[in-house]
């Protein structure tokens, strides 16, 4: 398999804190990659760099043979990288269906005049957008909620809508930031099934997750960040048995316990 | 008498709406109070005047010219005065806007002097149209109502059915999420400033034509009143702005008819309304609860 994403020496500092420190990463096409690490390890920051929200202080990102370092978020989206957020970011006043239609934004072309005057091309485009969005809602069993305002949905359903929005345009790569947070084991099961389906449709997945059981079972490969440094990269079962990884997690827990006292 | 005042009020309300819609849209996308919007109105009026006087344009072409120049001016204000400050404290951008307003007013005073001048001859005389024997409206005010309605309809269609319109609404809801769906935020912001500025220019040019007067500080009071209208309607809400503009126009016009000689000046009414709304319902008539940042 070819490398879809190649990141070299990625570093991001916030003042004196190095949130991501010299990270190299290669992701192959069609892979499901798990990104784990204790709280504050720099996982979300890594996604923010990859999606253009932050510009890395050092390092270089190649995607599909294009150098995308320093691209703006909308340019990254146009390259086919979509994501979900740790704190869900749906357009809360929009209906579920309209949120998902927004996921197809980059693929619509109709200009101002043709849409105002209802020319055929834009009507066809609008119809296609509605159909594709609806088909995805059906696949995810969300059709009952299609016209509900996204902000009124339960937490689990908001997560699913957010994934649907990231997925509807058949992106090259999708980044999921703790998608299973707050889900029960049954919902985690169906989420895992969905991620496998996503890969089936040809989309490469990077998944940040604290649910170690889920990532070990789901991912082809695990990468571990700790204090911004990549400390492990490889087969999931081997990675979670790696003493350095266990140490990072236990070390992190000790810190939280001290803080909790 | 009442019907007459209502009609005048609606015409006045439409000028406020045309100015305020831009303010509310700009607030929507950037969460920014654009205090230089009043000078954009002035730029529109003066550009239309120059178009007629020096470039041999007819009235309609001159108004379109004024809208385009003001639209470009609005985009430049955003580019030069707001974008470099994006992400800083909101007060910073607000002061920057006030600074731009003072700069442009002073520039206009240096070029055109501060004396009011008449609007050049348009070949279209301002004259009353008698609707019934007791109710009449100047043709210029009628044009404002018609043009205002057409613009609002076009704006509605634009926001609802075009890709850019959808993008503007998405950015108003969540700039970051929109950008990650492939929406070019800077482009959306520029288009919003262009449209909002062009509409304010339209109002400026029509008011200058209607009153046959323009001067460098002509935009400051309308700009502040538009701000009151936006707060009254609810920051970021276009329907709220329309209702708010009509309310202010009608209240002002009724006060002129019935309260002449009262202590309170007509121009002060907007600010009384502003104070009341801030005390009673800070989110405005149609606004969402304003989130503290
Ligand atoms: N915009 C920012 N400004 C300053 N510091 C930041 C910023 N964003 C993140 N950080 C810091 O960078 C470090 C890494 O944060 P990040 O959110 O990437 O961690 P994470 O691995 O996603 O953690 P979690 O599992 O809790 O989500 C933290 O110490 C955080 O406080
Ligand atoms: Mg995180």
pLDDT score of A100 more than 50: yes
pLDDT score of A127 more than 90: no
Q: What is the pLDDT of residue B288?
A: 67
Q: What secondary structure does DSSP assign to B182-237, as a single string?
A: T--HHHHHHHHHHHHHHHHHHHHHHHHHHHT-B-TTTTHHHHHHHHHHHHHH-TT-
Q: For all residues of chain A together, what is the average pLDDT?
A: 87
Q: Between residues 130 and 169 of chain B, which touch chain A (CB distance below 8 Å)?
A: 154, 157-158, 161-167
Condensed to tens digits (0 to 9), the pLDDT of residues B75-108 reads: 999 999 999 998 888 899 999 999 999 999 999 9
Segment A132-153 shows an average pLDDT of 86
Task: Tell me the C-alpha distance between B287 and B281, whole Å.
Answer: 9
Residue % of chain B over a pLDDT of 90: 62
Mutate to test the interface with A, among B87, B177, B287 (most CBs of A within 10 A): B177
- For the segment(s) B2-114+137-280, the CATH number from 3.20.20, 1.10.3470, 1.10.1060, 1.10.10 is 1.10.3470
Q: Which ligand is nearest to the CA of A249?
A: 1
Cβ(A211) – ligand 1 distance below 6 Å:
no
Least confident of A53-57, A99-103, B136-140, B165-169: B136-140
Q: What is the pLDDT of residue B41?
A: 97
Q: What secondary structure does DSSP assign to chain B, as a single string?
A: -HHHHHHHHHHHHHHHHHHHHHHHHHHHHH----TTHHHHHHHHHHHHHHHHHHS---HHHHHHHHHHHHHHHHHHHIIIIIGGGTTS-HHHHHHHHHHHHHHHHHHHHHHH-SS-BPPPP-S----EEESSSS-EEEHHHHHHHHHHHHHHHHHHHHHHHSHHHHHHHHHHH-HHHHHHTT--HHHHHHHHHHHHHHHHHHHHHHHHHHHT-B-TTTTHHHHHHHHHHHHHH-TT-HHHHHHHHHHHHHHHHHHHHH-TT-SS-GGGHHHHHHHHHHHH-TT-SSPPPPPP-
Helix orientation angle between B269-280 and B238-258, rounded to the nearest 10 degrees: 130
In this structure, what DSSP letter does residue A144 have? G
- For the segment(s) A1-80+171-261, the CATH number from 3.40.1360.10, 3.30.230.70, 3.40.50.1820, 3.40.50.300 is 3.40.50.300
Q: How confident is the model at residue B112 (pLDDT cuts 50, 70, 90)?
A: very high
Segment A201-226 shows an average pLDDT of 92
pLDDT score of B292 more than 60: no
The beta-carbon neighbor of B161 closest among A92, A102, A116 is: A116
- Domain ranges (residues) in chain A: 1-80+171-261, 91-170
Cβ(A41) – ligand 1 distance below 6 Å:
yes
| Torsions phi, psi for A35 (to 5 deg) | -115, 110
The beta-carbon neighbor of B177 closest among A89, A106, A108 is: A89
Residues of chain A neighbouring B182 (CB-CB closer than 8 A): 74, 77-78, 105-106
Q: What is the pLDDT of residue A114?
A: 59
Residue A104, min C-alpha distance to chain B (Å)? 8
Predicted complex ipTM exceeds 0.90: no
Q: What is the pLDDT of residue B222?
A: 94
Cβ(A38) – ligand 1 distance below 6 Å:
no
Neighbours of A132 (CB within 10 A): 18
Segment A183-196 shows an average pLDDT of 88
Least confident of A133-137, A206-210, B221-225, B237-241: A133-137
The beta-carbon neighbor of B181 closest among A72, A93, A105 is: A105
Q: How confident is the model at residue B243 (pLDDT cuts 50, 70, 90)?
A: very high
CB contact under 8 A, A77 and B179: yes
Task: Tokens 């609860």: give the residue.
Answer: B289
CB contact under 8 A, B163 and A105: yes
Residues of chain B neighbouring A122 (CB-CB closer than 8 A): 161
pLDDT score of B60 more than 80: yes
| Burial class of residue A238 (count of CB atoms within 10 Å of its CB; 0-12, 13-18, 19+) | exposed
């Amino acid at each position: 398999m070819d490398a879809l994403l190649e990141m070299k020496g990625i570093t991001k500092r916030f003042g004196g804190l190095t949130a991501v420190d010299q990270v190299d990463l290669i992701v192959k096409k069609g892979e499901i990659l798990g990104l784990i690490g204790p709280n504050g390890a720099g996982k979300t920051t890594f996604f923010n760099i990859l999606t253009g929200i932050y510009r890395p202080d050092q390092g270089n990102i190649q995607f599909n043979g294009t150098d995308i370092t320093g691209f703006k978020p909308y340019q990254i989206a146009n390259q086919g990288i979509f994501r979900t957020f740790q704190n869900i970011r749906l357009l809360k006043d929009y209906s579920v269906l309209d949120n998902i239609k927004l996921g197809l934004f980059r693929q619509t072309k109709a200009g101002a005049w043709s849409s105002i005057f209802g020319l055929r091309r834009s009507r066809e485009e609008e119809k296609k957008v509605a159909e594709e969005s609806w088909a995805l809602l059906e696949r995810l069993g969300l059709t009952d909620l299609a016209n509900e305002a996204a902000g009124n949905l339960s937490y689990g359903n908001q997560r699913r809508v957010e994934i649907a929005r990231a997925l509807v345009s058949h992106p090259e790569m999708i980044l999921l930031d703790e998608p299973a947070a707050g889900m029960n084991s049954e919902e985690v099961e169906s989420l895992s099934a969905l991620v496998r389906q996503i890969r089936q449709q040809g989309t490469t997945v990077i998944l940040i997750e604290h649910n170690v059981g889920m990532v070990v079972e789901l991912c082809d490969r695990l990468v571990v960040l700790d204090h911004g440094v990549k400390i492990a990269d490889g087969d999931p079962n081997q990675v979670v048995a790696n003493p350095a990884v266990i140490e990072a997690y236990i070390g992190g827990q000790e810190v939280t316990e001290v803080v909790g006292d | 008498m009442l019907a007459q005042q209502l009609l005048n009020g609606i015409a006045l309300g439409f000028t406020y709406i045309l100015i305020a819609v831009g303010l509310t849209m700009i607030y929507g996308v950037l969460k920014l109070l654009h205090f230089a919007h009043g000078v954009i109105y002035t730029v529109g009026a003066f550009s239309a005047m120059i178009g007629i006087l020096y470039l041999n344009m007819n009235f309609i072409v001159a108004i379109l010219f004024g809208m385009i120049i003001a639209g470009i001016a609005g985009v430049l204000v955003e580019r030069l005065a707001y974008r470099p400050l994006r992400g800083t404290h909101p007060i910073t951008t607000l002061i920057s806007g006030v600074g731009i307003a003072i700069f442009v007013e002073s520039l206009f005073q240096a070029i055109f002097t501060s004396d009011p001048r008449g609007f050049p001859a348009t070949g279209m005389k301002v004259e009353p149209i008698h609707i019934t024997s007791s109710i009449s409206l100047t043709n210029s005010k009628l044009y404002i109502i018609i043009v205002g309605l057409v613009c609002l309809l076009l704006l509605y269609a634009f926001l609802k059915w075009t890709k850019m319109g959808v993008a503007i609404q998405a950015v108003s809801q969540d700039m970051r999420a929109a950008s990650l769906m492939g929406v070019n935020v800077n482009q959306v912001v520029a288009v919003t400033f262009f449209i909002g500025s062009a509409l304010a220019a339209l109002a400026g040019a029509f008011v200058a034509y209607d009153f046959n007067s323009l001067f460098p500080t002509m935009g400051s009071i309308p700009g502040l009143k538009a701000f009151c209208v936006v707060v009254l309607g609810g920051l970021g809400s276009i329907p709220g702005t329309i209702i708010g503009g009509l309310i202010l126009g009608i209240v002002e016009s009724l006060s002129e008819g019935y309260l002449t000689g009262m202590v309170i000046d007509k121009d002060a009414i907007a600010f009384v309304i502003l104070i009341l709304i801030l005390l009673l319902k800070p989110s405005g008539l149609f606004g969402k609860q304003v989130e503290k940042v």
